[in-house]
Structure 1
Amino acid sequence: PLIDTLRGPRWGLRAWIVASQLLMGLMLVPLVLADDPFRPEGLGLLTLLLVAHAVFASTQDVSIDALAITTVPPEERGTINGFMQLGMLGARAAFGGIALYVEQFVGERVVLVALLACIWLSSLLVIFGLREPLRREGSAGGFVGKLRAMLKASSTWWAVAFALVAGAGFKATGAVAGPLLLSGGLDKEGVGLFFSTTAAALALGALGGGKLADLRGRHEAARLLLLGLAVAVGITAAASLLGGAVLVAALLALYVVAGAFTAAELALYMDATDPALGATQFSAYMGAINLCETWSSYSVGQLVPVTGYPSALRAMAVISLLGVVLLPRMVAASSERLAPAEG
């Protein structure tokens, strides 16, 4: 809400992004300058800096989503979400596992400097490479009115309901993928190798799913990919009985389909979001996705000891299929809400 309220011709979404990235980098500077930033006695300060960094990173993320909603033509939202997923997954891999591997050769300070440079230099792309529509100064009263309208709109709650269940099958499977592979005969090194490929699988799927969402329409693409996601979870459940290479192949296919569905799903939420509430409304949908991951991960953890992996995964796939029922209601409600504005 703060981002949507404090937007105007002098301070827009680009300013929010650049300011967030500046502050993200500043939180890393003490770690770069310290002789041993990870020493036990400095744990309190380290925790404070990393929490602040995470807060500013979340602000940046929300601002980028809002800017995409405001500037990207509707017919390109699927493709853009595919590339946004590619960038996010690539950065996560580069400064996650790859950085940990490189750190043993170059040292932690070099890795931190590289991260800091990427954060600050990417701000130049925002300053010189992006444009956003001019917006008149808003008011708290105007924002509150739009927020009330959003909360009263049935389309908002259909979208939240969809986000709460649609990804349950994949989120649950991802939560137990490690133990599932171990029970399927892989050793720890094999499991680690598998997870080193999942980012590429998700990114590949996201690029294809985003393109499909633009070609076939978000509703149709999301419906088809959600059905495919449930089928892929079901196949993984069956493959868990065989283990080995069959299980690995089934899981990799599931990650590809999940990446495709994610890109189409996010484009669908962008369509359902009022650009004036881009940060607030879209974040609500993202929060619902996070809640889906939380409850589905917990639920599958409770089910597996009782029913075993196949039955637990099939149950979560069935819950995901509730999204197929909710999706038409969400789209119809969004169309009714947007019709007066278009007319």
Structure 2
Amino acid sequence: MTDAIDPIALLEELIACPSITPEEGGAQAVLERALTGLGFDVTRLVSGEAPHGPVPNLFATRGSAGPHFAFAGHTDVVPPGKGWATDPFKAETKGGLLYGRGAVDMKGSIAAFIAAVSRAPDLGGTLSFIITGDEEGLAIHGTRALMDWMAERSIVPDMILVGEPTSQNRLGDTIKIGRRGSVNMWIDVIGRQAHVAYPHEGDNPLRRLFKIGTRLHELDLDDGDEWFQPSNLEVITVDVGNQATNVIPGEAHLRLNIRFNVHHTGNELVERVRAIVEEEAPGARFEAIVSGEAFLTEPGPLSDLVGAAIGEVTGLTPELSTGGGTSDARFLHTLCPIVEFGLLNATMHKLDEAVAVEDVRSLTEIYGSILRRALG
């Protein structure tokens, strides 16, 4: 029987890997060693090319019978930034908190889940890990590439748990059962540069861009519903790059993002905005990228199972939520029912990211309960 893995020791080892997107930094090699020791068949994949790759990915599986339970996550982290009180890539524990980039998002949950597996040697069914190195980046060659690889081999889990940090105030208070979609759009209005004293010789693109912006501000997308807040469109930036006080600019640029719920698709929203641009500024350049579609896993067996495991360990009844940003669940939800549950998200992406040591140990217990309920 394999010795039980200490989640804190494994987390410290993972934090020591500088796996800033899309670099692997040794993190997936650490996972490969741990999972191989637990009897998993591990496949390391590299997908994509520069400038958005290559991206390291990992798929590990054990067993062949049903049901098939999969854990999904990412080893990549955002850049640490300057101003840390500790070395962001050297785990340090002070006052019951373990500091390091990725402690919360999301090396802590990966370590907890692997530790939970090591404590449950008699699981039935099939258990898999879907691990990417590009969740914090553009996510072009990460989970989507893994899904293509899985499809070629007819690998389809029956349920997926994503270990994103979902807890708000206490470990176990929130499960994500859906996410809003996201679409970015770029609008470039072309005018004609001229001296401000001779406006008839110029064509100020800002006039048309302001009309576009006004109409975008007035768009009423929806009122939300039982599970989703209203969709929101936000203008992110307006730029002309004009350093002079006496020059009519030749170009004006607007960028926007829409976070939308299941009442829309990304392409539908793109076409609505495109129509406004074409009406107010014919000939303007327009580009859009749908980062992910909105989805909802209706409350049911999977969320009930995870909620019961949380209650067993913490005594809490978790809230079911669709709030927050996007995650790789936006891709994986097309395979099977999916929920997200992990550590407190208060310090993710911040300086001095930290996790309570006891939370990592409690999360290991919760994940162990989930495994027993799903595959025991």
More strand by share: 2
TM-score w.r.t. the length of structure 1 is 0.26
More helix by share: 1
TM-score w.r.t. the length of structure 2 is 0.25
Q: Does 1 or 2 have the higher relative contact order (CA < 8 Å, sep 6+)?
A: 1
